[in-house]
Amino acid sequence: MAGGDWTTNSSEALTLSLVRAREDKKALRGDESFEEFHPTFTYPIYGEDEKLYGYEDLVIDLRFASGSLAQFLSVRYAKKLDASSTVDNVEGILSEFIPSGYETDEATFLTRVEEDAISFKPIGKLVHSYKLSPRTSTLPVISDTSEAVEYEVYHATLDDPGFKEYHRRMQIFILLYIEAGSYINDEEEGWEFVVLYEKRKRTDGAPTYHFVGYSSLYNFYCFPERVRLRLSQFVILPPYQRRGHGSELYKAIYHYVLSRPTVSELTVEDPAEAFEDLRDRNDLRMLLTHEQFMREGFADSGVTGSHGGGRVMKGKSRSRTQVTPLGNKGKGKMGPPVDRAWAEKWRKDLKIAGRQFHRLVEMLVLLHLDPVDVRAERAFRLQVKERLYRFNFEVLAQLEKEERLEKLEETFQSVRDDYLRILAMVR
């Protein structure tokens, strides 16, 4: 792990583990592993180049009790340079990012794991649950089989007893897995959290809880007497990724927003590309299964996501994705062009942010578009371009008319391709 120059990549050296009690490990299948995985990023902790100097075969062993997230930290190495100001203080640097009081004695930590496994219970209010077969490797499915594992989502605030301390133990995952992620100010009012846990039964039937991931939400004032809830951070730990847990957590957040009369809409702060795809897929599935919305939107035709949002790009567009249109037999409120008053009424009812809702509507219209209906195709193109022009006005206004039209068409084609990509994933 270290070269001849005594340098080590900090992301390779840092090993993370979610440690379960001995009895809980008995309930795991042979292919389930929650220990010894690595972070995606360590530059917020160890610097932009993610290099540590002064060690050979460096291992930074950071373990968490799988439910309570009590921490253990150990730094091991084969060789270390003689004391020098240039040798990095590996533990000292990391200790600034985790709560004090972490264990450094392995036996003491393992005793804590055994104790916490029995005593730890999620903080806050249960807002969502689902089941997933241990053999399922894609999306969760509702199952009543005895081997199905249950997952629960809890809503909590920093005012809930014990949650501020718990949040300080889990927030390091934001630095390790979200690019440009940073700690929030937990003395600031307005923060809410939704935390996802695996609820696993022991052989004697007793349930224990294991941390899967979480999202932080922030309340903004929305005139005149409501709030806008902004999704700020969202992370699912690597052992649980690609199983559909991110979608379940997002759906739990969305339904929580719908349940609160004082919340006007759900927004997302600077979403990463992967999260925006997840958001699009789930929002589209929600709309496609909303019978009244689809019936009003497309009259007698039936139905069933994108990222980037149509920002002007200088590069080439993606390769085209083919999606068979459903056709638009009846003239519903979706048009094209869409009935704006109707769309705004539904946007408010569904509590979806403006730009996101407009993109979703455009995707659904594209899905229904009849390729031989030239008039509808033109109306759709103009509808999308109008939104793109408003969204990119400051950039486009600086261009000459011919170049502006060319850039707008290029952006439209890129957005259309991306819509087809998302639609192909949803259907």
User: Could you report the per-residue pLDDT of 28-85, keeping only the tens digit for each?
Assistant: 988 899 999 999 999 999 999 999 999 999 999 999 999 999 999 999 999 999 877 7
By the 8 A CB rule, do 169 and 64 touch? yes
As a whole number of Å, the end-to-end CA separation of the chain is 45
Is it the case that residue 111 has pLDDT exceeding 80?
Answer: yes
For residue 238, give every residue at least 6 positions away whose Cβ sits within 8 Å of its Cβ, in sequence order, or none: 37, 177
Tokens describing residue 394 = 């400051």
Please give the pLDDT value at position 302. 45
Confidence band for 253, pLDDT divided at 50, 70 and 90 = very high
Least confident of 134-148, 149-163, 227-241: 134-148
By the 8 A CB rule, do 153 and 127 touch? yes
What angle is formed at CA 400 by the lines to CA 397 and CA 401, rounded to 5 degrees?
90
Comparing CA positions, the residue from 410, 327, 404, 399 lying closest to residue 366 is 327
Q: In this structure, what DSSP letter does residue 2 have? A: B
Taking CA atoms, 279 is separated from 209, 377, 391, in Å, by 27, 26, 20
H or E segment at 292?
helix 291-298
Is it the case that residue 328 has pLDDT exceeding 90?
Answer: no
Please give the pLDDT value at position 323. 57
What is the average pLDDT score of the chain? 90
Least confident of 80-84, 101-105, 112-116: 80-84
Exposure string for 193-224, b = 16+ CB within 10 A, e = fewer: bbbbbbbbeeeeeeebbbbbbbbbbbbeeeee
Please give the pLDDT value at position 303. 40
Task: Answer positive or negative: Cα dihedral of 379, 381, 383, 386.
Answer: negative
Tokens describing residue 285 = 């599935």
Q: What percent of the chain has pLDDT over 90?
A: 80
User: Could you report the per-residue pLDDT of 309-324, keeping only the tens digit for each?
Assistant: 444 444 444 445 555 5
By the 8 A CB rule, do 67 and 61 touch? no
Among 36, 179, 269, 386, the active-site one is 269
- Max CA pair span of the chain: 79
CA-CA distance, 403 to 375, in Å (whole number)? 25
Strand partners, 215: 194, 234
Tokens describing residue 353 = 């942010």
By the 8 A CB rule, do 220 and 262 touch? no
What angle is formed at CA 131 by the lines to CA 66 and CA 286, rounded to 5 degrees?
115
By the 8 A CB rule, do 267 and 231 touch? yes
By the 8 A CB rule, do 210 and 201 touch? no
pTM of the model: 0.89
Comparing CA positions, the residue from 46, 53, 45 lying closest to residue 79 is 53
Q: Count other C-beta atoms under 10 Å from residue 148's C-beta.
A: 18
- DSSP output for 316-363: PPPPP---------S--TT-SSP-HHHHHHHHHHHTB-HHHHHHHHHH
Please state whether beta strands 71-76 and 59-65 pair in parallel, antiparallel, or not at all (unpaired). antiparallel
Comparing CA positions, the residue from 144, 129, 110 lying closest to residue 199 is 129
Tokens describing residue 265 = 């809409």
Whether 269 is a known active-site residue: answer: yes
Q: Count other C-beta atoms under 10 Å from residue 170's C-beta.
A: 17
Please give the pLDDT value at position 30. 82
Task: Answer positive or negative: Cα dihedral of 262, 212, 170, 239.
Answer: negative
For residue 105, give every residue at least 6 positions away whose Cβ sits within 8 Å of its Cβ, in sequence order, or none: none
Please give the pLDDT value at position 330. 53
